Structure 1
Amino acid sequence: MSSLSGYGKWIAGPRSKWVTLLVWVALVAVLNMVWPSVNSQVKNNASNLPENSPSVVADRIIEKEFPGGNGVPALLVWHRDGSLNDKDYAAIAAVYAKLAKEPLAHQQFVPPLGQVPPQALAGSASKDGSTLVTPVLFDRTADSDQLGESVKKLKALIRQETGGDPSAASASGSELSLRVTGPVGISIDATGLFKDADVSLLIATVLLVLVLLLLIYRSPILALIPLIAVGFAYGVTGPLVGLMAKEGWITVDSQAVSIMTVLLFGAGTDYCLFLIARFRQLLKEERGVLKALLGAISGSAGAIAMSGFTVVVALLTLLLAEYGSYHRFAAPFALAIFVMGLASLTLVPALLAIFGRVSFFPFIPRTPEMEEERAKEKGKPVPVRKERRTKGAVGRLVVSRPKTIVAVTLVLLGILAAFSSGISYTFDLLSSFPKDMESRQGFTQIGDKFSPGELAPASVLVDTAGTGAKAEDLKTLLAGLSYVAEVSDAQKGAVHPEILSYDVQFRENPYSREAMRHIPELRESVEQALRDAGAAEPENKVHIAGQTATQVDNRDVQNRDSDLIIPVVIGLIALLLLVYLRSVTATLYLVGTVILSFFAALGLGWLILHHLMGADAIQGSIPLYAFVFLVALGEDYNIFMVSGIWKKRKTMPLRRAIAEGVSETGSVITSAGLILAGTFAVLATLPIQVLVQFGLVTALGVLLDTFIVRPFLVPALTVLLGRWAFWPGRHMEVKEEKPAPVR
């Protein structure tokens, strides 16, 4: 404790508090001047799949053998209720003639529609003549921002040729309308959603945290102190992550930056409150502000450091992931929490030392003696000292009925957790978009008027060298599959003519789970045909590319990452708890309760998303994201509460230590949990289903930890286990001192 007090004087002493503040100001100013901001280094087209994934291998073959068709398609969906007219077809032809002569930036290929008469174009329209789909292929190396600029210029060209604005017209009306969909349209919309979300997310999060702090502590100065600390932490984290991205050490995307902001405000405010709550309590016992602050630092710094370290370690396990989106989260998130932890242990004490008791204005905490002196100075009656209650209602309930509490909480959490087994998962990015999003509207029109598979056909590549398989036979085989709507003629490879390529359109939405099931079936059917033709090792001769195949690989890689990372996270957190608490028993039930609350949050989230919000499935990435956050952040609250119990049980009976530990940490953990849950709930207000689902599940998990696991289940288990809660360490029960008899 003396070492922590010494550290406190170094960062919050009469002079050092100003030095600490100036160091942070200088750090933020210098880093933001010399290093790039994180937002300037965002890369939204980074691959999520490793190079050896089957769909990635297929893409490389296409790039080499079929360079003309290797671009990423933007599908232009032209529509007019009733029927497109000759003027519409003439305008479309003029657009493509202009694109052929003056290509857009990153444009790779356009079909020669500018040379086609209107009657021929009409032959490619839907049966009712209302809808036509035309492609523009772009370079695969172009990122979403570059594609967005090209599509913006394309729309300007279309306005010029049509004399109107088809993009602004209703998707179902008598005017000519245009919707850009396909992989390019979807990529542009996805990036736009996250970019639009950044500012609104930041504003909403700041306002929410500010309002909650004002409601909880009713002090404007105190409400600003955590926000100032978070602002400084973000000011340091942003350029640090920006530098790492610029040097190529890491890759960051808009989604990671958005959630990093939420994590900083939520977890960062929690760490600040752990210190503030202890400081406020000691100001009612100590006349000297510095002495109270040093006591607060001594009493909470260890738990804050341990909590932050636990979260950092858990987040760094995402570096083990092969799925790019998981991997890209690791460094920014871990660095953000690390910097926020430093700010909580240095900048926040300095700010509290600078403001002193005024931090809590207008409800300034004072010692009883100070209250008496203040009352005398104002000529008011001296307040009667009230005996401080050492046990709150929750603490008394926990130690008096531990068996009942354990039984009730386990049954409740167990029932909720059981619903998690019925969750359906999707890897369809399009379903995350609002229904009025352009790319989703275009896809809906294609599904209504054509085969849905036209949106993103699968490319089936077959190496027929030495097999005797014929192109027409393979096409007949593919066309005869019940789930295939249409098959193109075979194209021969430019380098190896024996490699054949077929575009296969599924009858279902190519982004759906049903279509994903067809990829292994499709592969097996072609491999079997090659076996029948006498081919050796046919599994090495069939490759499938396209959006559906990519989603299958996404699912397989994500499942692999979950199977690896979840046990590693559990093991590392268990190891940290074991070192900190020196108890195998406590480590087991602390980790076990958090895992149970995670599955309960997942089950409760599914009940709300599926039965109340109508979601057919949740995004496949949600469980791992939610697990890493909830297990790491959930242990924060356990560590903060249990560390208090562990200290108190050395000076008082265990049951009393548990009751007081629950009561003393109750208000701060409850307020911290509400703020953390609120910040994650902000994500659920955004028009992006993957963030809605992640925000809801994580917020529910935090609330379950805050109101069930931490105040009831964990302390009740500690009561039931008694001295065994500290095994293999020893617990020496302190006897309650009986008051001396009155003579």
Structure 2
Amino acid sequence: MDTPPRPAGHRASRPAPNPPRWLLVLVPAVLVAVWLALGAVGGPYFGRVGEVSTDDRASYLPSTAEATQVEGRLPAFTGDAVPAVVVVTGPGELTPADLTAIGQRLETAAAAVGAEGQASPPIPSDDGLAVQAFVPLPASADLAEATTTLREALRHDLPPGTEVLVTGPAGFAADLTEAFTGIDGLLLAAALAAVLVILVLVYRSPLLPLAVLATSVLALCGALLTVWWLARAGVLLLSGQTQGILFILVIGAATDYALLYVARYRDELRRTPDRWEATRRAWRGAVEPVLASGGTVIAGLLCLLLSDLRSNSSLGPVAATGIVFAMLAALTLLPAVLLLLGRAAFWPRRPTVDPQAPEPGADGGPGLWARVARLVARRPRAVWVTTAAVLAVGCAGLTQLDASGVPQSQLVLGGSEARAGQEVLAEHFPAGAGSPAMVLVPQEDLGAAGDVVAGQDGVAQVSVVAEGAGPAVPLERALAGAPAPLVVDGTVLLQATLTDPADSMAAEQTVRDLRTALAGPVPEALVGGSTATDLDTNAASVRDRTLIIPLVLTVILVILVLLLRAVLAPVLLVATTVLSFGTAMGVAALVFGPVLDLPGADPAVPLYGFVFLVALGIDYNIFLMSRVREETLEHGTREGVLRGLRLTGGIITSAGLVLAATFTALAVIPVLFLVQIAFIVAFGVLLDTFVVRSLLVPALVHDLGRVVWWPSRLARSAP
């Protein structure tokens, strides 16, 4: 078909000759069939991520970490079992008959869960009101299922009024596993439902939102299939946390890219009756910003490869894989679907060709973005100075952010039997019982090391793993050789029960002090255990923040310089994005602290928040400024930024709403880290789209004029 004459002011564009009609049907049909086949293969993997994922924090640490070195050598002393700590209390002081009944029930329960070895005998507390015991659960078992079975078996036929709680490493691991059980169904359903509602409101069409959602879901199928096999081969480390972020990121990014393409396609359908020509023009207009946007996010994510923590270094390629599939789906599947559907995709508001319609971006309507553009044109300096000042005030809350770490008992929100058990344990036993510090020392230094550890403030008692089956024996008995310490490769294992809860800041300080005290008399000593794992993880997270945040900024700045062919504009864009991030974190600190009274934040929270907000915030900068540059070439900088704002304002805010909604869906998983990331990214994205990209950046560019393109030719010459 021929394109009708355009009114004056439209840019001339010679339509390309149409391919044969059969090819116009065959090519998009083949693309759709390929994606459907990918979905058919990848779809079943939604329920199988648990087969290749782990939530063991010790597996995230680098091999050089002291806790990792100890963890690798522990099986030779204690086996591969994960200890479940059982604490039993009665209505009063437990009698010998009660202890006998509890011991029998422990043996039966241990057999029911297939424990590796026998459960320890009940160990009474000094006040006689409680006992504790240890049940070694197989490391290969489903800890959530095994812990549930253990609880039910223990509670059967015990004396009336007796309370049984299961805590320790197995209990907390089971809590975390149960928290992630809804990640395949609940999280995905919440994200898709939120996106569907927004798309229906944006397009007011029943068919187009389904096409966009199908694009996102099939992109996720392809990403999940790829990531699953990479994790199966040991190339990547998957966790429930990483899985949740992958789901949300792919759904959000694919929908954002789809929104950009649909907007271009709808504009072209109003300018030409030929849907092939409209597809060609829309694809050419969308491909550069989508590739630049996705490439920027990928580059930022891949900076995480430099992290010392495998949870972070694996997230980079996992999330980058998701972005690749989001881009591929938005640039192949969606154009193919819309080419096949044509104007019917927009029913009941089908776009019609209108040769008399005003040029896109021209100021001539009463719409919201026309009014915003007029405000920016009238008082640009007042707009950007006021906006920047308000954002700077929001940054002040950063001083209230506590990101020094979170106790393991607080990782899962809501009720937790493991947390309750830890509290009961601390009432009747040393607070660190059940999760001792593990100290590996040379055999010949056992005495010296034992004296240092036993004399350390914060250590309640010291035991040594001895030869033969059974629990560790007191240090004095091991030194006397009754029984002899177990020696593996010339080393012995001390277990130091701490006076503070193993996941507390005080316990971490005790581990630091232990390492310092042992460094002189026993330089080969290594201190590990759950407390040391938390300590080393937090230290690695702080190191990652210091290294990766400046690197991400540098990489993104270089990409923007190449994309915009300028230096000043990219510097300003990065500065506004950092300001937006600071405000989001400042507000989040106030919400997490005084408002919600959360127990602090993981040190990785600022890093994750930065990577997602800056990388995704630059997305919207690219959507805006690539269009502004395109308009500047013909209309000049000040008119170009106003046109770019009118043309992209609706797309960017819709995309921001979609991304904020998808990240908000993370909050359905009751894990503190994910809830905090959900708020930070959702609030930050809305701040970016409604304030920074709508007011601050356009007003700043309009005020500065063509100098923003320095040193390119656009800064020196008229359009």
Distance in 2 separating the partners of 1:639 and 1:706:
12
Alignment partner of 1:521 is 2:513: yes
1:613 to 565, 574, 596: 596
**SS, match of residue 73 in structure 1:** strand
2:200 to 203, 211, 214: 214
Distance in 1 separating the partners of 2:598 and 2:533:
23
Cα deviation, 1:96-147, whole Å, max 9, x if unaligned, reads 44478x5854624532x2xxxxxxx5x71362x44322112345xx24x533
> How far did 1:40 drift?
4.0
Distance in 1 separating the partners of 2:376 and 2:717:
19
CA contact (8 A) 2:709 2:715 kept: no
User: 2:699 is matched by which residue type in structure 1?
Assistant: A
Distance in 2 separating the partners of 1:526 and 1:200:
49
1:651 to 613, 616, 634: 634
1:75 to 85, 102, 109: 85
User: 2:435 is matched by which residue type in structure 1?
Assistant: A
Q: Which runs of 5+ in 1 are unaligned?
A: 114-120, 167-173, 372-385, 531-537, 737-743
**SS, match of residue 175 in structure 1:** coil
CA contact (8 A) 1:5 1:298 kept: no
2:34 to 18, 23, 32: 23
Greater Cα shift, 420-429 or 197-206: 420-429
Closer, same or farther: CA 19–7 of 1 in aligned 2, 3 Å: farther
CA contact (8 A) 1:626 1:698 kept: yes
Alignment partner of 1:107 is 2:99: no
> How far did 1:234 drift?
1.9
Distance in 1 separating the partners of 2:655 and 2:217:
18
Residues 134-533 of structure 1 mapped to structure 2, 5 A cutoff:
134-138=133-137, 142-143=139-140, 145-155=141-151, 157-158=153-154, 162-163=156-157, 175-368=161-354, 388=365, 392-425=370-403, 426-463=405-442, 465=444, 470=447, 475=450, 477-488=452-463, 489-490=474-475, 491=478, 493-495=485-487, 501-528=493-520, 530=521
1:42 to 39, 53, 56: 53
Residues 716-727 of structure 1 mapped to structure 2, 5 A cutoff:
716-727=699-710
Closer, same or farther: CA 247–497 of 1 in aligned 2, 3 Å: closer
Distance in 2 separating the partners of 1:4 and 1:95:
82
Distance in 1 separating the partners of 2:154 and 2:354:
77
2:66 to 51, 54, 63: 54
Aligned to 2:533: 550
Taking structure 1 as the reference length, the TM-score comes to 0.84
Cα deviation, 1:27-52, whole Å, max 9, x if unaligned, reads 33456699996454334447011222
> How far did 1:429 drift?
2.5
**SS, match of residue 731 in structure 1:** helix
User: 1:459 is matched by which residue type in structure 2?
Assistant: M
> How far did 1:623 drift?
1.3
CA contact (8 A) 2:216 2:254 kept: yes
Cα deviation, 1:599-653, whole Å, max 9, x if unaligned, reads 2211111111111101131122211111111111111100010011001011113
Closer, same or farther: CA 481–626 of 1 in aligned 2, 3 Å: same
CA contact (8 A) 2:410 2:599 kept: no
Alignment partner of 1:697 is 2:708: no
CA contact (8 A) 1:487 1:505 kept: yes
Distance in 2 separating the partners of 1:574 and 1:678:
28
> How far did 1:336 drift?
1.1
Aligned to 2:124: 124
CA contact (8 A) 2:300 2:552 kept: yes
Closer, same or farther: CA 6–157 of 1 in aligned 2, 3 Å: farther
Taking structure 2 as the reference length, the TM-score comes to 0.87
Distance in 1 separating the partners of 2:636 and 2:166:
70
User: 1:208 is matched by which residue type in structure 2?
Assistant: A
Cα deviation, 1:428-472, whole Å, max 9, x if unaligned, reads 23212234122112112112333321142212344474x7x845x
> How far did 1:707 drift?
1.3
User: 1:26 is matched by which residue type in structure 2?
Assistant: A
**SS, match of residue 392 in structure 1:** helix
Distance in 1 separating the partners of 2:23 and 2:316:
32
> How far did 1:198 drift?
2.9
CA contact (8 A) 1:39 1:242 kept: no
Residues 671-710 of structure 1 mapped to structure 2, 5 A cutoff:
671-710=654-693
> How far did 1:93 drift?
1.1
Greater Cα shift, 669-678 or 450-459: 450-459
Cα deviation, 1:310-367, whole Å, max 9, x if unaligned, reads 1122222222222121122122211111011011001111111222222222222223
Aligned to 2:9: none
Distance in 1 separating the partners of 2:356 and 2:14:
29
User: 2:623 is matched by which residue type in structure 1?
Assistant: F
Distance in 2 separating the partners of 1:9 and 1:556:
63
Residues 558-569 of structure 1 mapped to structure 2, 5 A cutoff:
558-569=541-552
User: 2:124 is matched by which residue type in structure 1?
Assistant: S
> How far did 1:703 drift?
1.2
Distance in 2 separating the partners of 1:288 and 1:3:
13
Equivalenced residue count is 683
Distance in 2 separating the partners of 1:637 and 1:268:
14
Closer, same or farther: CA 717–11 of 1 in aligned 2, 3 Å: farther
Greater Cα shift, 12-21 or 548-557: 12-21
Alignment partner of 1:714 is 2:689: no
User: 1:719 is matched by which residue type in structure 2?
Assistant: H
Distance in 2 separating the partners of 1:36 and 1:11:
40
Aligned residues with identical type, % of pairs:
32
Cα deviation, 1:693-716, whole Å, max 9, x if unaligned, reads 111111111111111211122222
User: 1:124 is matched by which residue type in structure 2?
Assistant: P
Cα deviation, 1:524-549, whole Å, max 9, x if unaligned, reads 23345x2xxxxxxx4x2332121111
Cα deviation, 1:168-217, whole Å, max 9, x if unaligned, reads xxxxxx73232211111111211121123331111111111111111222
Closer, same or farther: CA 657–79 of 1 in aligned 2, 3 Å: same
CA contact (8 A) 2:15 2:277 kept: no
Aligned to 1:573: 556
Closer, same or farther: CA 68–36 of 1 in aligned 2, 3 Å: closer
> How far did 1:158 drift?
2.8
Residues 653-668 of structure 1 mapped to structure 2, 5 A cutoff:
653-668=636-651
CA contact (8 A) 1:649 1:734 kept: no
User: 1:94 is matched by which residue type in structure 2?
Assistant: Q
Closer, same or farther: CA 197–38 of 1 in aligned 2, 3 Å: closer
**SS, match of residue 50 in structure 1:** coil
User: 1:429 is matched by which residue type in structure 2?
Assistant: Q
Distance in 1 separating the partners of 2:240 and 2:20:
40
**RMSD (Å) for aligned C-alpha atoms:** 3.2
Alignment partner of 1:133 is 2:148: no
User: 2:499 is matched by which residue type in structure 1?
Assistant: R
Distance in 2 separating the partners of 1:202 and 1:12:
36
Cα deviation, 1:139-172, whole Å, max 9, x if unaligned, reads 5xx24x533444344345435xx337x9xxxxxx
Greater Cα shift, 362-371 or 341-350: 362-371
Q: Which runs of 5+ in 2 are unaligned?
A: 1-11, 358-362, 464-473, 479-483
CA contact (8 A) 2:511 2:532 kept: yes
Closer, same or farther: CA 17–424 of 1 in aligned 2, 3 Å: same
